[in-house]
Structure 1
């Protein structure tokens, strides 16, 4: 069910949500959090779809904030709020409200969002693109227990990581780090099996890959070794090599959903290591809303000590 509201207010939106729930026969609110997505018109559809898929695991109220600061020739009311309320099958397992703020209303988006937050429920804010330099001090970010950015969505991802490191606050995270969870799990398992001292390390990926940069910093901080950054044709992270006195530990995924694990003195194994969808990444981030200490370690790890080389497949 969809309800369109033009030149509206937060109270009218809340009333429409109640009416929508009653119309579909579910008057009780069973959602566990509020997800606020701050995006532009171009990326709103994909971001909303990902949030709705994630809501199957985490039923939530999703507020999509689309700021329109410029007046169009046909826009006679330059400062206003339009909304599209979705409940039932049109909103996954929760509720979705698409908020289009026009003119000066865009400068006060937090005042629009605040009355629409679920009471006594955590708030997560996600910027699919164009995140603020300091998410925790952003008016919307200040409302959240978890603030999600994505270094992949900017022209200079390594520069974006520098901004994230400078402004980091507990609760901040980035999808470039979330994409590494399977890699980190497999590397930890491999080191448990090998039980050997790591004396060198290398991370192979496409150029300017923020996940590879975070992985290299994390390995350097945790293992205390210099990490070589090797540029390949990709896609994304293609391999990690850890040197030990007994030989190399290698996880290699040149392409596709499968990787190979090589341990000294053991037969090669095949592992599932697919590139996960945005919905899967968001669902993972919603499982825990406390500070991600390992992300902070990786973010503040030294990038200056890494060596770089180029290898073409």
Structure 2
């Protein structure tokens, strides 16, 4: 069985299939990569997922902000050449990786927690059988479920393998910046096979965490689609110059996964330009979704989970492709 895990348990020629996934009381049709399975580690290391959750829980207890950082790592990993753990690789003589790309440099964090998870799970499994890419997917799910409770728990599809290279240029090209307009956001998500519903639901990941002053400075000083009192309060945190790394919460409840993010958008209190672009009050699909999620936390949790599963299917390495890294920061 160990050899099957190393070589891949499924036929690489099978790209995807459509399955019915029941989330809450709603049945959704989600395209699922046939090589991934929620039971991938059940026999080779059944203790893997509980160990990962325990480390994530400890990390969040030490620093409540870290769960949002782990969620962001998974997003930024998947949007650059697929969910392959490439964001975790340090630069080498052969490549300049994603960590120093503009969207990640001095911004992406949580790498030491991933190292902690990797060490703990390899010790529990007595060998490196859990990929770094899968660790990111599991840690993201566990983080949101810890912040939001059972309604945000979902089965993570597993069996990804790790990339042997990374590209700073690809990260700069593929990760949507907070300055993007709505049309740019839609185009970016569509290039990854994700639709407007996915865009709005996944943006709801900003229900937790914080953003740096440098990401919202232009909005609070120069934009009109913002509540004036909200903008004024933010200027105390983010001056016109200096204080680039000063932090502000992404919604009013940064340590709880809920629908407050969408309520804030209705009130023109989206922190980032890209956040507020989702709601303009013009009757667009995104406007209707923001309104729906603001009044129905259950609908938001349902669609967020479905979109997380869908995002996690982006071009994973499976079978004999890639490797299972012994250390998440470097190739074997």
Normalising by the smaller structure, the TM-score range is under 0.3
Structure-1-length-normalised TM-score: 0.25
More helix by share: 2
Structure-2-length-normalised TM-score: 0.24
Which structure carries more relative contact order (alpha carbon 8 Å, separation 6+)?
Answer: 2
More strand by share: 1
